[in-house]
Copies of this chain bind each other. A is one copy, B any other.
Amino acid sequence: MSPSPSSPMFRERSERSVAYLHSRFAETADLLAETTPHAAAPLQDAREICTGGKHLRSLLVHIAADRPSGPVPRCDTAVAAAFDLLHGSFLILDDVFDADETRRGRPTVHAAAIARAENEYGIAGSTDPSDAAHYGQSVAVLTGTAALAGALRLITDSGAGGTTTVSLIRLLTDAAGLSMMGEFLDLHYSLPGVEAGADAVRTASHLKTSPYSFSAPLVAGALLAGRDGHTAVLREMGGHAGAAFQTANDLHSVFSSSSRTGKSAAGDLALGRATPLLTAARETAARSELDEILAGGDPSQLKRVRELLHSCGAVDEVITRARDDLAAARTVLADTGALPSPEARAAFAAVLDGISESLHV
């Protein structure tokens, strides 16, 4: 997905949040070094994941806080950083669940820990529970869980008032809970013996990403600025934007080269992940051939899968739905006072444009 070209002011604030997140990671590294040298490597791996990417979530917090004439209070910077850290936490855990080896062109946290166990500590690969894979996955789970706790910690340290802080913690834990629910359903619907309908798969896909990536950061920004009354419209706008964003991600995970996404293109397919795209295709005549290829798990069949997803109409179907969602988000943006300033409205419109541009294969 291309970064939004507009909104340099909010983009700059988001970068300041990333710099703050870096400083917190550096502080944690210093603290841990007092106890042990062994935690430095996974912490650094987590830092790369959590401070990388395009910082969409911290950008959305700053847009929704909507202080065009500045200054930006410290609490905005910290809370925006917390949402990027929360995202990093979910990426680290997601990569364990999906057994992905690469993320953003680097080894995932568990893959790096496995490599260290094998190369530095001499564990031979085995199927014993004490083997390197189990060690690496456990380290990644701990790292991801610590990042989740860290995100909440950033909010308590943000300097926002007590009532606002409590609302923000509730917002973040709610969004995290919905994402975990979506992730669980994603895993569950991918079991070979489970047949999930299109609506159920869309719900799971939506829960997994949209609440914590769009709705919660937007509401957080409004809470920080004392605009509690904007919560409902921001949630609605974020829900539509998040649905379109997730569709763009699903398309890219199948149609982009791995050099572009930073992870293996065939990953979701190999695991039989029930994305709305695949579910739409399995409701057409393409189903039997698709199921056969997915059961075989041969990565060289990716080209044929792409052809089938196109020819059966599934790609067009999900893109049409995503464009409808983007239009709905634009209507909320234009017709409500969700974002008071023209600067913030333009910045959010640019985010929607970025999603729109990436809705192709």
Contact = CB atoms under 8 A, between A and B. Distances in A.
Interface of A: 32, 35-36, 38-39, 42, 93, 96-99, 117, 120-123, 127, 129-130, 134-135, 137-139, 141-142, 144-146, 148-150, 152-153, 155-157, 161-163, 165-166, 169-170, 173-174, 176-177, 180-181, 183-185, 187-188, 190-194, 200, 203, 207, 270-272
Nearest to A187: B138
Contacts of A141: 93, 96-97, 141
Given A35-B203, A165-B165, 9 more contacts: A35-B181, A39-B184, A97-B138, A142-B180, A146-B177, A156-B169, A161-B162, A162-B165, A165-B166
B173 A149 contact: yes
Contacts of A130: 190, 270-272
16 contacts: A35-B181, A36-B185, A97-B134, A117-B191, A121-B193, A121-B194, A129-B271, A130-B190, A135-B187, A137-B137, A139-B188, A141-B141, A146-B177, A148-B148, A149-B173, A153-B174
A21 B146 CA distance: 24
A237 B312 CA distance: 68
A146 B180 contact: yes
Nearest to A36: B185
A297 to B, nearest CB: 8
A83 to B, nearest CB: 15
Nearest to A194: B121
A163 to B, nearest CB: 5
Oligomer: number of copies: 2
**9 smallest A-B Cβ distances: which pairs?**
A162-B162, A121-B193, A99-B129, A122-B193, A97-B138, A153-B173, A121-B191, A149-B173, A156-B170
Contact of A183 (B142, B152, B170, B270): B142
A156 B148 contact: no
Contacts of A155: 169
Nearest to A207: B35
Contacts of A169: 152-153, 155-156, 165, 169
B176 A149 contact: yes
Nearest to A178: B35
A161 B120 CA distance: 49
